[in-house]
Amino acid sequence: MKLNKIETVAGIVLAILLATVTLMSSIFFLVTIKVGFINWISFNSCSFISILYLISLIAFFICKKSVLLVLTTLPFYFLGTMSMFFMPWDSSMFIAQIGHIIMTLNISWVLYVVIKHKEYKALAIGLLAGMLIFVPFIAHVQTYNQKHATELSDALKGQ
């Protein structure tokens, strides 16, 4: 798939915004409240998935394989878009919600360009592969966060 200049610039701008929010969020979890790497992956799963998306976006720009763009659609939707409806919209979650909006904009851009360029096979393969790869990850994150909710709460209180 070959993107036009506007599509390319929009994708890059959205990716830069995502990278910025991901960096800020990762610094908060890893440096400010000092959670370990495994806790970071589960407590801040949006950042982990965002990094995977950014890697797949770079790979797409190099290889021009549309399926690479679609791989992280499911976790972006579940962890990003759906989180906007389940997490509070208060001052403590404001930055997280901004990150969820940016994740949603990135995945909207992906779906727009893939559908506009009629890359339906890549869409189907990417969604299927994404389900196979990320449903176990999402299940792990949900289970881990339930089991370690007190640990996360204590870390957030100690900041």
pLDDT, tens digit (0-9, with 9 covering 90-100), for 126-152: 999 999 999 999 999 999 989 988 888
Contacts of 12 (CB under 8 A, 6+ apart): none
- The pLDDT of 79-105, averaged and rounded, is 89
Closest by CA position to 58, among listed 101, 107, 11: 11
- The pLDDT of 63-86, averaged and rounded, is 93
153: helix, strand or coil: helix
- Single pTM value for the model: 0.92
In which band, very low, low, confident or very high, does the pLDDT at 159 lie, cut at 50, 70 and 90? Answer: low
